[in-house]
Amino acid sequence: MKILIIEDEKKIASFIKRGLTEENHMASVANRGDEGLQMAAENNYDLVILDLMLPGMDGISVCRELRKNNFQKPILMLTAKDRVEDKVKGLDSGADDYLTKPFAFEELLARIRALSRKNMNSEGSVLKAGELEMDLLSHKARFFGKELELTTKEFALLEYLMRNAGKVVTRTMISENVWDINFDTDTNVIDVFINHLRKKIDPENPLRIIKTVRGKGYVLENGR
């Protein structure tokens, strides 16, 4: 998952980001509310972890603006305040769940998994593009019924391509949505991963599924 952490306490933000990265999530951090709101508007995040007390713009205002701007992905609110009225205020602003500081990281992961399942169930957990099929809940992908052995990053790359099947996606778009904001776009890592995917999907004809559009990027065909 691509997760945005909006948290002004840098030690907490770093702790959460490190833990999420170890769990194979892609995590970005904003230390101000207004900065986080802008990052959420410019990037396609799967979930936002939002602190209540923030400089620039408080968490309640950020949450309301996100929902006002049609951000429909889960929002998990963090706060040191544990009064019922504070929790109600956060949930009424558009948050999907509420976690009180201090918290165990295992609980944070459990909340994220629950919100992810709920979101997938509402959107549909299976992606299809011709004979390519991806189950986001079981984290499995198949081509003509044969299961593909994919790494976490290959799975994330294929998911992005399938969500944009038939459309040209640039290397910049891939780096922003599959890698984190610190990714070095001058490397050939994306091309290497694309080639790995091609060979794993269809080793006998690796170029028929993911086409290269010269000077632009890549396009996932319908899988036939």
| Domain 2-122 CATH superfamily | Response regulator (3.40.50.2300)
Sketch the domain layout of the chain as residue ranges. Answer: 2-122, 126-220
Class of domain 126-220: mainly alpha
Radius of gyration of the chain (CA): 19
pLDDT at residue 44 tops 70: yes
pLDDT in tens, 149-200: 998 889 989 988 988 888 899 888 888 778 765 666 677 888 999 999 999 9
pTM for the complete prediction? 0.64
Residue 117: strand, helix, or coil: helix
Residue 181 is predicted with a pLDDT of: 57
Ramachandran quadrant class, 179 (left: phi over 0; alpha: psi -120 to 50; beta: rest): beta
Angle at CA of residue 89, ends 83 and 36, nearest 5°: 110
Burial class (CB in 10 A: 0-12, 13-18, 19+), 76: buried
Contact between 50 and 76 (Cβ < 8 Å): yes
What distance in Å separates the CA atoms of residue 14 and residue 28, rounded to the nearest whole number? 10
Q: Which residues contact 173 (CB under 8 A, 6 or more apart)?
A: 217
In 3D space, the residue among 36, 31, 65, 34 whose CA is nearest the CA of residue 48 turns out to be 36
Give the other-Cβ count within 10 Å of 36's Cβ.
Answer: 28
pLDDT of residue 224: 46
pLDDT of residue 121: 58
pLDDT on residue 182: 61
Cβ atoms within 10 Å, residue 112: 22
